[in-house]
Amino acid sequence: MSTSAFVDVRRRSARLVGAQVVDSRSTHQPSASALPAASTPTGAQKSEAKNEHKRTEKRSNRELEEEEEEDTAPASTPKTKRRKVAATSRKSSTTQGADADDPPVNVPRKKKGKSEVEPNPVDFPVRVSSPWKVGAHVSAAGGVENSITNAALIGANAFALFLKSQRKWTGPPLKSDSIAKFKSRLETFGYSPCHILPHGSYLVNLGNPDDEKREKSYQCFLDELVRAEQLGLTLYNFHPGSTVGLTTMENSISLIAQCLNRAHKETKSVVTVIENMAGSGNVIGSSFKDLGDIIKQVEDKARVGVCLDTCHMFAAGYDIRTKQGWISMITQFDEEVGLKYLRGMHLNDSKAQLASKKDRHENIGLGHLSLRAFHHILTDERVQNIPLILETPSQENNDIWIKEVEILNRLSTLKLDEPKDAGGEGDEGGQLLDAMMEEIKEVVKKVTATNPKAAKGGGKGSSKRAVKGRKKAGEEDESELSDLTEDD
């Protein structure tokens, strides 16, 4: 500690008890008559002076120790340490020039800079090479660039993400640093933009007959399309909307098409991918005819596509549990929409029965669809090289998706005959599928046992309890348009 700083500390301490401190370096010595008479300090003043004296001694000792560290620091001492010591010295010199009663000047300390190391693919699981691009809807928390590493962690060859909060109309703009990292990691980890299927906000309803509300939805929709293009992505998946019981299905379909035509003119290239729905309430898109009617009214056909959700189609009445059922569904889709518009799929089992019109996602093989339905998909060349995205309950644990991705990739390599009877009794292929199903069930059971609270929350969707909470908070009720994984 410097002499001047030490004198300054002593001066401050002495003045508190009414004493006079004379700086030995000063050339002016005031006369005794010019000095005010010292008053007798009270008990409280003595106590405060004593405490202040202890505090100044502690600060003095600490500053001396830091100066000793600076003097003895080797040449390799990090610059951040030297800046910290230098800041202490500046603080002392600043205090010296001020009045002793003034509070000390706080010099902000610089945080130690840590160079961020970009993730390396060699530290992640090796991904299966397959023309069927299986993945999951992963988290983008902390920045959209994190979705890429989250996908790589589960061995995914495709993935989906939210470009902002799916339950808010607006969100902060994407940071330039996040955009740059997202594009860099795409290349580093070998993901193609055509295998990434961003999911739109649950609040958007382009079929709402109310002009003001539809415009609010459109602006949210447009903002997310712009975000997709900023990231260099080519697809954007959204739920078509609802009549909200105030207009005809035909009118809502026309309103949706009008919004798409407008959005295509205000953006450059991203393809708007319409998702089929389960058919609850006034929701549009549960039939292939609905999807086809929207596309017919879209001017730029190159900018529109369809995403088929297996849980939704099953709930809407399309039975794909048998090979013939799958072929029949694909044939009907081709006739009413067109296979060329199929740009992605959501692979979800169903907790609800066929034609229930209930959108309740279940882990693959554990619902009413069974693993055989997914085998039909994973061996059909017509769905190669498009994103096949899991939206099953993960319980916030990667182990479930890791197992599901693994099983789906294994299904693509199996040649199974259809069971000879309805129950599949004695079928060798059925026994193999049952064994795979048990693998998934065992992982789900293990994860549930370690985290029972997360098990109640399901996957990407929201529960009835959560919807009620949003209503109380004054938020929009998007229950008709969102993907749910909990029973109402």
**Structural domains of the chain sorted by starting position, each given as residue range(s) with its CATH number in brackets:** 1-21+81-101 (no CATH), 129-472 (3.20.20.150)
Q: What percent of the chain has pLDDT over 90?
A: 65
Q: In whole angstroms, give the CA distance from residue 209 to residue 211.
A: 6
Residue numbers annotated as active site: 167, 199, 202, 239, 275, 309, 312, 346, 359, 361, 391
Mean pLDDT, to the nearest integer, of 162-184? 96
Supply the pLDDT for residue 129: 97
Q: What is the pLDDT of residue 452?
A: 76
Quote the mean pLDDT of the chain. Answer: 80
Instruction: Supply 247's token pair.
Output: 């207009």
pLDDT band at 421 (very low <50, low <70, confident <90, very high): low
What per-residue confidence (pLDDT) applies to 464? 39
pLDDT band per the 50, 70, 90 thresholds, residue 76? very low
Give the pLDDT mean for 142-155: 98
Q: What pLDDT score does 23 carry?
A: 41
The residue with tokens 């959108």 is 359
Q: Show Cβ contacts of residue 67 under 8 Å, excluding neighbours closer than 6 positions.
A: 1, 85, 88, 89
Q: In this predicted structure, what is the pLDDT of residue 429?
A: 87
Confidence of residue 64 (pLDDT cuts 50, 70, 90): very low
Q: What is the pTM of this model?
A: 0.73
Q: Pull the structure tokens for residue 5.
A: 């700083």
Lowest mean pLDDT segment, chosen from 140-154, 283-297, 344-358, 424-438 = 424-438
